[in-house]
């Protein structure tokens, strides 16, 4: 059986078997037991620059196992910087590596995909921490898309969004919206952590513009960087993982320059039937036509198409007219890394949700169970992967409401520095002296 964790007991049964198995056997087993059919991936990128703060990352030839072409996966990402471009550039250069360092080695594809949500959380936080240690200002949104086979994993902070149109024409939002204006839950989290949320106050007490977080004046609740904003502006990403049918689908990843001008439906409709590169150009062109070039406007279109060898036996007609955005209901990590391995054969084009969690609670996000085999010989910090000496790690559950039951050695463990970061994100540590106040913001 190759579907990961089938029956919900994937972490309990297989590790004993896997423990003795060398990597070559694992790979061979993966090849023989799982029919490897991967989509043909075509992508296009278009961008119009106003501030020079949008950056993109496109890499189609990443490998889970270096040197093994059968373990190829693709990454597409947009970083929309603010208050300068240093954070966007730093994140573009370091985030993927920080994520991959947080994935245990020697996993097969299903285990690797199951480990990704936790690794994404660790990689985002490490990147944020490392960038802040450089004491540079600026921050960035991140929408980070990993495509492995038919499985698409999207991690996001900020408001650059990613949508999926499935082969039969349903729309799915795969990223979060961390604009304070649109996210009441995040406003409550920030307020509870000691931040103030309100509109910009001009002379005379007139309030204008979007909701912003003070100190700092940022209108996003999550980002990477933003040294000069309260630490309750956190880098913990919303993560969503879906599996497409082998009929494929189209991803549209865009910065807010596009989404401030176009609805999800109109972006899809404007680009319908066009190859990915022309589609991306068309979406950016239409956005700029509608609203003018008021912001950096960037779009990546990625098509996952059935490989030529797979006959496309049935092609459903595209649904016409208005379609509702299907927001698949979120699942919490406490439900265990969820997946429903029984495919519904009556809906061959269904998009299967494997995982979703956007919680800001680090203990919950790191507490995902996945096959451990004998991978954790060393005690590592669950965020930055630094090796911990015995007795040195601090349980991520310390300080949580359940802390009475937590023993200091209960994993996942954090190093002292990552523990301090966790407390800062939860508002348990006073913010640094911040200069931009609500009334003094330019």
Contact residues toward Zn ion (CB under 5 A) are: 381, 383-384, 415, 418
The residue count of the chain comes to 442
Give me the half-sphere count of Cα atoms (radius 13 Å) on the Cβ side of residue 99.
27
Nearest to Zn ion of 176, 415 (CB atom): 415
Instruction: Output the smallest distance, CB 418 to Zn ion, in A.
Output: 3
Alpha carbon distance 254, 76 (integer Å): 11
Taken in order 306, 95, 237, 295, is the CA torsion positive or negative?
negative
Nearest to Zn ion of 154, 418 (CB atom): 418
**First CA to last CA distance, the chain:** 60
Is residue 162 a contact partner of residue 252, using CB atoms and an 8 Å limit?
yes
Instruction: Output the smallest distance, CB 383 to Zn ion, in A.
Output: 5
Instruction: Output the smallest distance, CB 2 to Zn ion, in A.
Output: 34
Nearest to Zn ion of 336, 419 (CB atom): 419
Instruction: Give the contacts of 246 (CB within 8 A, at least 6 positions apart).
Output: 37, 39, 150, 306, 310
Nearest to Zn ion of 185, 392 (CB atom): 392
Instruction: Output the smallest distance, CB 188 to Zn ion, in A.
Output: 28
Alpha carbon distance 2, 23 (integer Å): 16
What is the DSSP pairing of strand 297-305 with strand 171-173?
unpaired
Alpha carbon distance 157, 226 (integer Å): 13
Nearest to Zn ion of 200, 415 (CB atom): 415
Instruction: Output the smallest distance, CB 118 to Zn ion, in A.
Output: 14
Nearest to Zn ion of 118, 178 (CB atom): 118
Count CB-CB contacts under 10 A for residue 429: 14
**DSSP assignment string, 395-424:** ETTTTSTTGGG--TT-SSEE-HHHHHHHHH
Alpha carbon distance 99, 272 (integer Å): 33
Instruction: Output the smallest distance, CB 121 to Zn ion, in A.
Output: 13
Supply angle C-alpha 193, 194, 195, rounded to 5: 105
Instruction: Output the smallest distance, CB 412 to Zn ion, in A.
Output: 11
Instruction: Output the smallest distance, CB 64 to Zn ion, in A.
Output: 24
Instruction: Output the smallest distance, CB 101 to Zn ion, in A.
Output: 12
Nearest to Zn ion of 164, 363 (CB atom): 363
Nearest to Zn ion of 396, 418 (CB atom): 418
Nearest to Zn ion of 45, 384 (CB atom): 384
**165 φ, ψ (degrees, to nearest 5):** -105, 120
Nearest to Zn ion of 284, 413 (CB atom): 413
Q: Please give the distance of CA 389 from its chain centroid, rounded to a whole number.
A: 31
Alpha carbon distance 381, 387 (integer Å): 6
Rg (CA), the chain: 22
Instruction: Output the smallest distance, CB 385 to Zn ion, in A.
Output: 7
Alpha carbon distance 382, 395 (integer Å): 10
Is residue 56 a contact partner of residue 80, using CB atoms and an 8 Å limit?
no
Q: Please give the distance of CA 301 from its chain centroid, rounded to a whole number.
A: 17
């Amino acid at each position: 059986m190759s579907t990961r964790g089938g029956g919900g007991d994937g972490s309990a049964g297989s590790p004993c078997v896997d423990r003795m198995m060398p990597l070559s056997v694992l790979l061979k087993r993966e090849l023989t037991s799982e029919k490897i059919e991967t989509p043909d991936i075509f992508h296009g990128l278009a961008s119009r620059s106003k501030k020079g703060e949008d950056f993109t990352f496109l890499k189609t030839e990443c490998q889970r196992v270096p040197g093994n072409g059968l373990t190829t996966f693709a990454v597409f990402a947009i970083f929309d910087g603010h208050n300068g471009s240093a954070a966007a550039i730093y994140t573009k250069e370091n985030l993927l590596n920080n994520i991959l360092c947080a994935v245990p080695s020697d996993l097969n594809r299903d285990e690797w995909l199951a480990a990704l949500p936790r690794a994404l959380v660790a990689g985002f936080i490490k990147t944020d921490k490392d960038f802040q240690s450089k004491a540079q200002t600026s921050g960035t949104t991140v929408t980070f898309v990993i495509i492995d086979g038919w499985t698409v994993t999207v991690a996001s902070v900020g408001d650059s969004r990613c949508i999926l149109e499935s082969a039969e024409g349903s729309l799915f939002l795969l990223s979060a919206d961390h604009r304070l204006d649109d996210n009441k839950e995040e406003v409550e989290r920030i307020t509870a952590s000691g931040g103030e949320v309100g509109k910009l106050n001009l002379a005379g007490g007139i309030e204008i513009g979007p909701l912003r977080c003070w100190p700092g004046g940022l209108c996003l609740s999550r980002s990477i960087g933003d040294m000069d904003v309260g630490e309750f502006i956190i880098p913990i990403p919303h993560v969503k993982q879906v599996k497409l049918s082998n009929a494929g689908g189209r991803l549209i990843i865009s910065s807010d320059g596009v989404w401030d001008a176009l609805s999800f439906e109109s972006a899809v409709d404007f680009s319908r039937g066009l190859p990915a590169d022309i589609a991306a150009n068309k979406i950016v062109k239409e956005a700029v036509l509608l609203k003018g070039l008021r912001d950096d406007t960037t779009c990546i279109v990625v098509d996952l198409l059935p490989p030529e060898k797979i006959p496309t036996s049935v092609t459903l007609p595209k649904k016409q007219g208005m379609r509702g955005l299907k927001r698949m209901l979120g699942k919490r990590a406490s439900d265990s890394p969820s997946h429903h391995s029984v495919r519904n054969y009556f809906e061959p084009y269904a998009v299967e949700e494997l995982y979703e969690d956007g919680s800001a609670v680090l203990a919950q996000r790191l507490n995902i169970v996945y096959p451990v085999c004998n991978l954790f010989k060393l005690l590592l910090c669950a965020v930055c992967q630094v090796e911990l000496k015995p007795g040195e790690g601090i349980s991520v559950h310390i300080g949580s409401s359940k802390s009475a039951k937590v023993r200091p050695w209960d994993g996942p463990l954090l190093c002292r520095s990552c523990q301090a970061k966790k407390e800062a994100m939860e508002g348990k540590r006073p913010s640094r002296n911040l200069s931009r106040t609500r009334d003094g913001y330019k």
